[in-house]
Amino acid sequence: MDYDTMDGFEDVGPRVVVRHALKDRADFTLENTDLSFANSLRRTLLAEVPTMAIDLVEVQANTSSLADEFIAHRLGLVPLNSKNVDDVSYTRDCEFCEQYCEHCSVTLDLHARCTGDEIMKVYARDLVVAEPRPNEWVGVPVITDSLGLGTLICKLRKGQEIRMKCVAKKGIAKEHAKWAPTSAVGFEYDPHNKLQHLDYWYEENPEKEWPKSENAKWEDPPQDGEPFDYSVQPSKFYFDVESIGNLEPDAVVLQGIKVLQQKLALVIQELSGDDRNGDADGFGGARSPDGLQGGADYGVDQGYTTPFGNTGGQTMYGGGTTPFGATPYGQSGWQ
């Protein structure tokens, strides 16, 4: 939110100004930070905010013209409400089951049969959420159209039937796009290209062939003859977050910041030599519902083991030294 700077005090820390806010979209600026942090937040919003999506489909009957796998894929892309998704455990971390239960998943039933002569359309509204579940919001199909139908799943002709049991789990878009909380995240800085980070290709006039964005109205254009300052770094960034409906855009941003904090805490924990194992509720960060191959934990860096079998700060040559026996600074290893 915007705030007024007190007299005699300078801005400290990142500053957010919300320019537009809708039910499924938020437009804001992020100031007093650097490009690396802003881009890290953008990437986290796209791929590491946990949501709910259908992950398992048990086909009990399918006489439609579509294959089981085709319908299962379409079901996985139906957006599901993910409000308070922290109440749901990751399947791999669940203490109550080995596959899924009411603590780590939400079950939805789909049963439709066409008995008339006209083609029957099956929509997301036909998915029935079963109880119990972690809270009253998660797992409900997101329906935003004026008719209240939701996503079209398939079509049936007379006598055709589908009956399926769908299991929704918690996950992140880095594992599969069906867990993506956003359809797009707009990101821009330096709309007038004062820093010359972009080299425009043009035929005659770059000003006409590359029109300025709306964000250019929020900054002063460069002056003719103004000397170029090589030390200037971007400090104001423009975000346009568009949610697919499973989370409100402000919740997506807050969850993104939380995940980023968890990942940074995990780095600090590893660098400080703390042996405590992180988890999804502590410093483990966002995780997918299924673990990696070989039992490795998702979100826990296994990269400290080299291909040569050494661990920690060791290299293929042993210890922390370089192949020449010492570091370029005269020290024989890490201090």
Sign of the alpha-carbon torsion through 19, 21, 26, 32: positive
pLDDT at residue 306, rounded to an integer: 39
Backbone angles phi, psi at 25, to 5 degrees: -155, 140
pLDDT at residue 210, rounded to an integer: 87
* Residue stretches of the chain with pLDDT short of 50: 1-3, 5-9, 278-283, 291-335
Could you tell me which residues are beta bridge partners of residue 110? Answer: 164
Sign of the alpha-carbon torsion through 112, 117, 118, 119: positive
pLDDT at residue 8, rounded to an integer: 40
Cis peptide before 132 (omega within 30 of 0): yes
| Distance, CA of 153 to CA of 150 (rounded, Å) | 9
- Give the DSSP H/E element, type plus range, for residue 170: strand 161-171
pLDDT at residue 276, rounded to an integer: 58
Residues 6+ apart with CB under 8 A from 136: none
> How far does the chain reach from its first CA to its final CA, in angstroms?
43
| Distance, CA of 197 to CA of 213 (rounded, Å) | 16
| Coil vs helix vs strand at 125 | helix
pLDDT at residue 200, rounded to an integer: 84
The verdict on pTM exceeding 0.85 is no
| Coil vs helix vs strand at 70 | helix
Residues 6+ apart with CB under 8 A from 265: 283
